[in-house]
């Protein structure tokens, strides 16, 4: 049984992301963008700003990690196939007559599948980011965590600047001040994969990938199905907050917040479920 699971994990870890999982990632990202306030108007008034915004949503992780490692942030444009794929998705979702493509993907079962597949790409991005940082900086585990995190949750972390392209500026909030669930889970993933990479974690890489992905997909689907906004980390965070950052008042306050966690303010690109149902109801 264990051997079978091991084989499944190995096979899973060799799964190619291109083209289906990448397509799902582009679709989920662009749909979240379309659900942002004002995005549809911008798509008509200024297709180029809309396209740039969509590309930042789709390739945000690559752009952010390139900036951090002083590699060309436009390098992703060199991968013509991916960019054309993402552009096609953007075009179909924003400009298809009668909004057909958007409505099709907004159909709950399809959306659920697309969101689940998008989560799978997150694992791949984090592991690639960690390995890439390791190839530049041997054993600089902090850089590995940061790059893994940036790859996994890049579009969320640079959402302030993605919004700026669309003429929206919300300085009072950002993904560091109020982390959305995808940004949190990417950070956890980056820490885990970095520990695995420098052999602090006695787990094989394919097993970690397998179980982390399952955790990602299951929590994502559960959160979408139950419309439950509470992060699965809420209790853990509260405990950690109490332990490290809390003398009494904070601790009490933190405990109080567990009941009303504020993860609903996720950003355009990494938002996967919170805005969708309201919007879906409106458009249908």
Residues at the contact surface with its own copies, assessed by CB under 8 A: 42-49, 52, 66-75, 77-78, 80, 83, 95, 97-98, 136-137, 140-143, 146-147, 160, 164-169, 171-174, 176-179, 241, 244-245, 247, 250, 253
Say which residues have a Cβ less than 8 Å from residue 221's Cβ, sequence separation at least 6.
112, 115, 116
Q: Which is nearer to its own copies, 160 or 230 (CB)?
A: 160
Of the pair 110, 142, the CB lying nearest its own copies is at 142
In the complex, what is the shortest distance from the CB of residue 78 to its own copies, in angstroms, rounded to a whole number?
4
- How near is the Cβ of 157 to its own copies at its closest, in Å? 11
Smallest gap from Cβ 204 to its own copies, in A, equals: 26
Residue 206 CB, shortest distance to its own copies, in Å, is 28
Neighbouring residues of 275: CB distance < 8 A, sequence distance ≥ 6: 32, 35, 36, 266
Rounded Cα distance between 271 and 35, Å, is 9
Give the separation between CA 54 and CA 49, rounded to whole angstroms: 9
State the nearest-atom distance from the C-beta of 31 to its own copies, in Å. Answer: 18
Q: Which is nearer to its own copies, 131 or 143 (CB)?
A: 143
**How far is residue 90's CA from residue 102's CA, in Å, rounded to a whole number?**
10
| Residue 6 in tokens | 């091991």
Q: In this complex, which beta carbon is closest to its own copies, that of residue 49 or of residue 112?
A: 49
Q: Which is nearer to its own copies, 66 or 127 (CB)?
A: 66
Of 11 and 44, nearer to its own copies (C-beta) is: 44
Asked if 157 and 61 count as a contact pair (C-beta separation under 8 A), the reply is: no
- Provide the minimum distance between the beta carbon of 36 and its own copies in the complex, in angstroms, as a whole number: 14
- Residue 262 buriedness (CB in 10 A; 0-12 / 13-18 / 19+): exposed
CB of 193 to its own copies, least distance (A): 17
Shorter beta-carbon distance to its own copies: residue 253 or 278:
253
DSSP 19-37: THHHHHHHHHHHHHHHTST
CB 62 within 8 A of CB 151: yes
Q: Other C-beta atoms within 10 Å of 29: how many? A: 28
């Amino acid at each position: 049984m264990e051997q079978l699971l091991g084989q499944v994990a190995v096979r899973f870890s060799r799964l190619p992301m291109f083209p289906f999982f990448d397509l799902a990632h582009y679709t989920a990202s662009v749909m979240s963008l379309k659900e942002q306030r004002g995005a549809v108007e911008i798509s008509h008034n200024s297709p180029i700003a809309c396209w740039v915004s969509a590309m930042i949503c789709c390739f945000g992780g690559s752009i952010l990690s390139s900036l951090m490692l002083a590699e060309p942030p436009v390098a992703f444009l060199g991968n013509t196939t991916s960019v054309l794929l993402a552009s096609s998705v953007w075009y179909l979702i924003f400009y298809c007559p009668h909004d057909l493509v958007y409505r099709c993907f907004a159909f709950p079962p399809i959306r659920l599948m697309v969101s689940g597949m998008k989560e799978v790409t997150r694992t791949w991005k984090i592991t690639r980011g960690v390995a890439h940082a390791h190839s530049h900086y041997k054993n600089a585990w902090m850089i590995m965590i940061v790059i893994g995190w940036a790859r996994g949750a890049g579009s969320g972390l640079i959402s302030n600047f993605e919004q700026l392209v669309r003429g929206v500026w919300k300085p009072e909030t950002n993904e560091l001040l109020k982390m959305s669930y995808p940004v949190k889970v990417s950070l956890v993933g980056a820490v885990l994969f970095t520990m695995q990479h420098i052999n602090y974690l006695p787990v094989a890489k394919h097993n970690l990938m397998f179980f982390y992905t399952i955790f990602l997909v299951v929590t994502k689907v559960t959160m979408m199905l139950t419309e439950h906004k509470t992060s699965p980390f809420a209790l853990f965070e509260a405990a950690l907050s109490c332990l490290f950052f809390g003398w009494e008042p904070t601790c009490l306050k933190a405990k109080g917040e567990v009941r009303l966690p504020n993860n609903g303010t996720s950003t355009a690109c990494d938002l996967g479920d919170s805005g969708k149902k309201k919007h879906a109801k409106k458009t249908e």
